[in-house]
Amino acid sequence: MNSETDISKKYWKPKSKWWFAAAVLSIAAAAAVNALVPDVQTVNTSYYRIVLAAFIAALLALWTTPVLARKLRHKLYHYSQFIAAAGLLLAVLDLLTTKSDILKLPFFPGPAQIIEVLFTERNTLFICTVYSLRLFFAGLACGVVLGIATGVMIGWNRQWNYWLFPVLKVVGVIPPVAWIPIALAVFPTSFYAGIFLLVLTSWFSIAFMVATGIESTPKAYFEVSRTLGANDRFLLFHVAIPNAVPSIFTGIATSAGMCFMTLVIIEMIGAKAGLGWYINWAKAWASYDKVYASIVIMGVAFCIILGVINVFRNYFLRWQKGTVR
Amino acid sequence: MIEIRNVSRIYYDTAGLPVEALQAVSLEIREGEFLSLIGPSGCGKTTLLRLIAGLDLPRSGELFIEGRAIEKPSHERGYVFQQAALFPWKTVEENIAIGLKARHIYKEKKGLVPEYIHLVGLDGFSKSYPHELSGGMMQRVAIARALINKPKVLLLDEPLGALDAFTRIELQDTIRRIRRETGTTIVLVTHDVDEAIYLSDRIAIMTARPGKINEIIKVEINSERDRNRDDFIGLRRRALEKLHLAGVVYANVQGGGEAI
C-alpha cells in the first residue's frame, strides 16, 4: 500500500482546502454574529470574541507555516468539517441565548457566558481540576499496579487462580459507587476514600484483562522457549507478560473511563474539592454557567487523559504497527 | 547419538478412546546425519519428534542423547515448529537472541546474533518485526533462533509445510547449506517425499494406527541432488511404493504409480 492511499484511509478529505476555508469562515461567522447582533442578556462577550479570534489566528498560522509537516496539514483538513459545524452551532446557540433570550437563564447560558465563566473563575476551576486529576491519577495508578499484579497471579498460578478468581468475579460486578457510604466512614479523609473507590473501579477490570492476556499465550511460545533453554521465570517475564500487554492497555483504557465516572460521583457526594464538587456547589447557587464550564473542562481533560494513555500504548505496542489493533 | 528404544505413546481421542500414537518404536540417529521422518498424518511422526525434544514423555520405553536419558526440553535439542512461533513483540534480532538471553549468556555472546542472521540469509532485516516478514523469512528466523544455541540436534517439525512451492525449494537449499556449514545433526518431519530425498541421508517411513517405523531407506546420492535424475526418481518410486504398501494413498505424484 502506498502512502497516498494510506493518508486518505486515515483522514477524511485530507486534501480538501475548501472545507478548511469553510471552517475558518464559520468561526468568523460566529464571531461576526456575536459582534454585530445586539445582546439581550447582560454578558461580557469580550472573552468569547477573543477566544474565537485566537482560534481563527491559530488555524491560519498552522495553515501558513511553511515548516508544517504535510501530515499535520492533512490532520488540520481532516478536522475542518467538524470545526465548520462547531462554528455554526456556536452562532446558533449564541442567537438563541445571549442575543434573544429564547433559551432562558439560568439553565441555558450562551457560549459567550460559559467562556466568560471559564475566564473569571479560572483560579477556582484550575485548583479544582488539579484536585480532580490528582485523585484520578493516584487512584488509577494504584488500581493499575494492583490489577496487573493480581492479573498475573491469576493467569499464571493455579493456586492463586483458585482463591482470587471467585473474589474477582463477585466483587467485580458490584458498582464501586455502592461502597461510597462505607468508604467515607472508614477512611480518614475523602481523598483516601476516593482512592479506595477508584482502586475498586480499576483493579478488577484490569486484573481480568491481564489474566485473560496471560492465559491466551499460545502454547507454542512456551514450548519453543523451553527448547531454547528458558526456565519458568523467563516464560513468565519474557513470554506470558509481553503477550498480555495489549490486553493490559485495553484494561487501562476502559477502566480509565469508568474511573472518571466514579471520580465525578465521589466528588459530587463526598469531596470538598474537585470538578465534581464544583458542579454541586455551583448548582446550589443556581450558577448553571459554572456547571457547564466544569463540564467543558471535564470533556477536555478526559480527552487529554485518553490521548496520553494512547501515546504510551503506541509506544509499547509499536510491534503491532500495520497489523490489526 | 540419539537412541530411541521401544518407545510407545497413547493419546485419547474425542470419544475418550485410547489411540496408539506410537507403538514400540526404536531408532538410532547418528552424529551429523540428516534423518527424515515421513508418513501420512496421524502416523506419530510429530509425536516422535516431540519426544526427542522432551516436550512430551513416552508411556513406555526410553530415549537417550549421548547416553543420557531425555526427560525435559533443553537448548541442546533445538525445535522449529510448522508455524514459526516467533514472538511478535520482538524484532528479528531479538527473537534470534532469545536462547542467549534465556541462558544468561547474552552479554558475552551477542556477537553471534548478526552471524546467524547472515547464516539464514536475512541481512538487513535485523530490526524488522515478524509481521513485516513473509512466511519463508519467519521460518528462517525460527531456524536461526534454534541454531544460535549450537544444539546437538535440530528438530524440524514440517517447517516448510505452510509455504508456497517456490519458497519451499529456496528454503530446502538454505537448509542444505546450513547443514553443510554447521554440521548439525538434523531430524526433519515432513510429508513431502521429494523434500525428504533431497535433504536426507536416511528416510524413516512411518505408518499410522498404530504409529510405527515401517522401513528405513538410505539415500545414497552423493553428488548434487537433481530432482529429475534417474537415481532421484528411482528413490522417489521406492519411497512411494513403501508408502503404498503401508496403505498410504499418494495420488498424482510423478513416478508414484497407482494408489492401492
Of B53, B71, B190, nearest to A222 by C-alpha is: B53
CB A244 within 8 A of CB A153: no
The answer to whether A220 contacts B101, with C-beta atoms less than 8 Å apart, is no
Question: pLDDT per residue over A140-178, tens digit each?
Answer: 999 999 999 999 999 999 999 999 999 988 988 899 999
Point out the residue among B54, B55, B102 whose CB comes nearest to the CB of A230: B102
Q: Among residues of chain B, what percentage have pLDDT more than 70?
A: 93
pLDDT at A270: 84
Instruction: Look up residue B76 and give its amino acid.
Output: E
Which chain B residues are Cβ-neighbours of A234 within 8 angstroms?
Answer: 101-102
Q: Which residue has the higher pLDDT, B121 or A69?
A: B121
Provide the number of CB pairs (under 8 Å) joining chain A to chain B.
72
Confidence band, pLDDT 50/70/90 cuts, at residue B201: very high
And the C-alpha cell for A93?
Answer: 446557540
CA distance B258 to B260: 6
pLDDT at position B42 is 78
More confident residue, A113 or B220: A113
Q: Which CATH superfamily is domain B1-38+46-71+186-260 in?
A: P-loop containing nucleotide triphosphate hydrolases (3.40.50.300)
Chain A (242-261) residues lying within 8 Å, Cβ to Cβ, of chain B = 242-243, 245
Residue A314 pLDDT exceeds 80: yes
Cβ–Cβ below 8 Å for B83 and A220: yes
Beta bridge partners of B206: B213
Q: What is the pLDDT of residues A205-245, one digit of tens each?
A: 999 999 999 999 999 999 999 999 999 999 999 999 999 99
A60, pLDDT greater than 60? yes
Question: Which has more pLDDT, B64 or B251?
Answer: B64
By percentage, how much of chain A surpasses pLDDT 70?
Answer: 96
Q: Which whole number is the average pLDDT over A83-105?
A: 93
Residue B229 has pLDDT above 50, yes or no: yes
Residue in B with minimal Cα distance to A239: B87
Contacts of B141 in chain A (CB under 8 A): none
C-alpha cell at A289: 454557567
From chain B, the residues in CB contact with A229 under 8 A are 74-75, 99, 102-103, 149
**pLDDT-based confidence at residue B246 (cuts at 50, 70, 90):** low
Any CB–CB contact under 8 A between A71 and chain B?
A: no
Residues B71-93, mean pLDDT to the nearest whole number: 94
Please compute the mean of the pLDDT values over residues B172-191 and round it to a whole number.
93
| Average of per-residue pLDDT across B58-71 | 93
Task: Please report, for residues B44, B204, B249, the alpha-carbon distance to residue B207 in angstroms, rounded to integers and kept in the order given.
Answer: 8, 10, 12
Question: How confident is the prediction for chain B on average, in pLDDT?
Answer: 88
A82 touches chain B (CB under 8 A): no
Read off the DSSP letter of residue A239. I
Q: What is the pLDDT of residue B129?
A: 94
Residues 149-188 of A with CB under 8 A from B: none
Express as a percent the part of chain B with pLDDT over 90.
65
- Give the span between the Cα atoms of A308 and A161, in whole angstroms: 32
- pLDDT over threshold 90, residue B125: yes
Say yes or no: A230 contacts chain B, CB-CB below 8 A: yes
Q: 3-class SS at B61?
A: strand
The chain B residues in contact with chain A (CB within 8 A) are 53-55, 72-75, 77-79, 81, 83, 85, 87-91, 98-99, 101-103, 129, 131-132, 142, 145-146, 149, 155
The whole-angstrom separation of Cα B106 and Cα B93 is 12
CB contacts, 8 Å: B142 with chain A: 224
- The three-class DSSP label of residue B10 is strand
pLDDT band at B256 (very low <50, low <70, confident <90, very high): very low
- The pLDDT of residue A115: 95
Q: Which residue of B has its CA nearest to A217?
A: B87
Percent share of chain A, pLDDT over 90: 77
Average pLDDT, chain A: 91
Domain map of chain B by residue range?
1-38+46-71+186-260
How many Cα atoms occupy the beta-carbon half-sphere of A270 within 13 Å? 25
| Segment among A83-97, A179-193, B155-169, B220-234 with least mean pLDDT | B220-234
pLDDT given for residue A5 in this prediction: 64
pLDDT(A8) > 80: no
Query: B78–A226: do the CB atoms touch at under 8 Å?
Result: no
* Band of pLDDT at residue A199, cut at 50, 70 and 90: very high
Region A248-275: what's the mean pLDDT?
93
Mean pLDDT of the B104-117 span: 93
Candidates 1.10.3720.10, 1.20.1530.20, 3.10.450.50, 3.40.50.300; CATH matching A122-320: 1.10.3720.10
Residues of B in contact with A245 (CB under 8 A): 89
Q: How far is CA A170 from CA A145, A173, A200, in A?
A: 20, 6, 12
Q: In this predicted structure, what is the pLDDT of residue A202?
A: 95
What is the distance in angstroms between the Cα of B72 and the nearest Cα belonging to chain A? 9
Q: How far apart are the first and last CA of chain A?
A: 18
Beta carbons of B90 and A320 less than 8 Å apart: no
Chain B partners within 8 Å of A325 (Cβ)? none
For range A35-56, the mean pLDDT: 92
Q: What cell numbers appear for B23 in the block?
A: 507403538
Task: Give how far B227 is from chain A: nearest CA, Å.
Answer: 33
Banded model confidence at residue A17, pLDDT cuts 50, 70, 90 = confident
Q: Which residues on B lie below 8 Å from A240 (Cβ)? A: none
Q: Closest to A226 (Cβ–Cβ): which among B73, B83, B142?
A: B73
In this predicted structure, the answer to whether residue B164 has a pLDDT above a threshold of 70 is: yes
Instruction: For residue B149, list chain A residues with Cβ-Cβ distance below 8 A.
Output: 228-229
pLDDT at site A74 = 84
Question: In this predicted structure, what is the pLDDT of residue A15?
Answer: 78
Can you state the angle between helices A70-78 and A80-96, rounded to 10 degrees? Answer: 40
Phi and psi torsions of B124, nearest 5°:
90, -5
Is the pLDDT score of B128 beyond 70?
Answer: yes
CA atoms of B161 and A234, how far apart (whole Å): 29
Confidence of residue B177 (pLDDT cuts 50, 70, 90): very high
CA atoms of A308 and A261, how far apart (whole Å): 18
Q: How many CA atoms lie within 13 A of A17 on its CB side?
A: 3
Which letter does DSSP use for residue A287 in this model? -
Of B54, B81, B131, the CB nearest to A224: B81
For position B146, what pLDDT does the model report?
Answer: 96
Q: Looking at the partner chain, which of A223, A234, A321 has a beta carbon nearest the beta carbon of B55?
A: A223
pLDDT at B251: 43
